[in-house]
Amino acid sequence: MRAAVLRAFGGPEAVEFGELPDPVPGPGQALVRVRAAALNHLDLHVRRGNPAYKIALPHVLCGDMAGELVGGELGGLEAGDRVLVAPGVSCWECAACMNGRDNLCRTYSILGAEGGWGGAAELCAVPAKNLIPIPAALSFEAAAAVPLTFLTAWHMLGALAGTREGETVLVMGASSGVGAAAIQLAGLRGARVIAVSSSEEKLAAARALGAAETLLLGASGLKPLRKLAPGGVDVVFEHVGGALFPELVRALAPGGRLVTCGATAGHEAALDLRFVFFKELAVLGAKMGPQRELRELIPHFASGRLKAVVDKTFPLAEARAAHERLESRRQFGKVVIVP
């Protein structure tokens, strides 16, 4: 099969277009003919050789994928069915899995990283338990843009932050895949969204997705937020970390919740506990979300209440250029590779 192959760690130049043996599905696995695979920042970390992800080379990236079921264990489906693949791999036997918290499984991993080869190839062997049928109205490219980002945002805003109708949600990094998902999902829960980005063009796209207000991030940081939310915001949706973290905590209204799933600007952040206890704040971490929550999301795409945001598609032979676009942060939404 043809694939975007990682044979050494490094920059985008480490992604090579070449041939690999066709994968053979093992016990409990299905074989999927990949029609679209979406990049995440996780792929950039793995490609660079982040020691947190112990993988063997050669390797295939992209845990987000959609395609047609070919063979292996079909999980109650039929060959030819259109499916997306839940990227999280769990044991389904531990206490966390049995309690519906499979994202906290002791062996949890993600396809395209330690969970096995991803979808930047013509074929991929995946756990049959991870197959989710997709409606005819959802294209393969759109389906591939859903799993990791929408599941993470849904889990953050719902199960963790408990976002309610009428609340104000501040969405940081609104142009990212998870940020674009958060704008829509907060709106779906009846919240007022303030979207933050460093680009006027991306803020215009955020407004088109439903953001009520936007904030251009510049030298003054979050100071303009005081005019948009004088009493503070109820929820901060955060995946940036770094120097802005203390400002985000201070931006919360009494009883507010900050929920985070990443640290692209730095993993060490100061936390003034006086704000936390005096205003009864909650600081919450998110590790994607349970697979059942991803299954709950799909009908919203079929009905049109949610829309997968695809920034740009690249053929498999140009996977390196797809990495370059994501790494440059020029995108709004998901960068998708089409085998």
pLDDT at position 14: 97
Of residues 163, 151, 146, the one with CA closest to residue 259: 163
pLDDT at position 318: 98
Q: What is the CATH number assigned to the segment(s) 150-285?
A: 3.90.180.10
**DSSP annotation string for 210-231:** T-SEEEE-BTTBTTTHHHH-TT
Q: What is the pLDDT of residues 69-95, one digit of tens each?
A: 999 999 899 999 999 999 999 999 999
What pTM was estimated for this model as a whole?
0.93
Residue 270 and residue 246 in contact, taking contact as beta carbons nearer than 8 Å: yes
d(CA 173, CA 289): 20
Q: How confident is the model at residue 179 (pLDDT cuts 50, 70, 90)?
A: very high
Reduce the DSSP state of residue 330 to 3 states and report it: coil
DSSP H or E run through 45: helix 41-48
Q: How far is CA 134 from CA 27, 111, 298, in A?
A: 24, 19, 7
Q: How far is CA 163 from CA 134, 208, 209, 240, 317, in A?
A: 27, 21, 18, 20, 42
Q: Residue 188's CB: how many other CB atoms inside 10 A?
A: 16
Quick check: 264 pLDDT over 80? no
Q: How confident is the model at residue 33 (pLDDT cuts 50, 70, 90)?
A: very high
For tokens 């999902």, what's the residue?
A: 185
Pairing of strands 2-6, 15-19: antiparallel
At a CB cut-off of 8 Å and minimum separation 6, what does 100 contact? Answer: 290, 292
pLDDT at position 330: 83
pLDDT at position 175: 84
Q: Which CATH architecture has domain 2-146+308-338?
A: Alpha-Beta Complex (3.90)
Left, alpha or beta for 210 (phi > 0: left; psi -120 to 50: alpha)? left
Q: How confident is the model at residue 244 (pLDDT cuts 50, 70, 90)?
A: confident
For tokens 């277009």, what's the residue?
A: 17
Evaluate whether 2-146+308-338 and 150-285 have a shared fold: yes
pLDDT at position 332: 87
Of residues 107, 101, 114, the one with CA closest to residue 289: 101
DSSP state of 158: I
Left, alpha or beta for 215 (phi > 0: left; psi -120 to 50: alpha)? beta
Query: Mean pLDDT over residues 277-305, rounded?
Result: 95
Q: What is the pLDDT of residues 268-287, one digit of tens each?
A: 888 888 889 999 999 999 99
Reduce the DSSP state of residue 179 to 3 states and report it: helix
Q: How confident is the model at residue 66 (pLDDT cuts 50, 70, 90)?
A: very high
Percent of the chain with pLDDT over 70: 100
d(CA 147, CA 88): 9
Quick check: 267 pLDDT over 90? no
Quick check: 31 pLDDT over 90? yes
Quick check: 218 pLDDT over 90? no
Show me where the domains of the chain are located: 2-146+308-338, 150-285
